[in-house]
């Protein structure tokens, strides 16, 4: 009304930095669901602190 334009500020979401490690699978299953469950269980993740 008075010629003022106020832009909406979009809140910035903070996404933590992650590091993933997945060793090679040692077991092979015939059932793809069992294989996926086993493979996902091998994934190790950690949050990387700022400055590293």
Retrieve residue 36's tokens.
């996926």
User: What percent of the chain is modeled with pLDDT above 70?
Assistant: 88
Run of H or E residues at 36 = helix 32-41
Cite the beta strand spans of 1-52 per DSSP E: 18-21, 44-47
Mean pLDDT of the 41-45 span: 84
Mean pLDDT of the chain: 81
SS3 (DSSP) at 13: coil
Give the 3-state secondary structure percentages of the chain, helix then strand then coil, rounded to 5.
20, 15, 65
Give this prediction's pTM: 0.50
């Amino acid at each position: 009304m008075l010629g003022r334009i106020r832009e909406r500020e979009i809140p910035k979401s903070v996404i933590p930095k992650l590091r993933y490690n997945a060793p090679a699978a040692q077991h092979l299953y015939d059932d793809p669901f069992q294989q996926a469950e086993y493979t996902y269980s091998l994934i190790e993740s950690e949050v990387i602190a700022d400055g590293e």
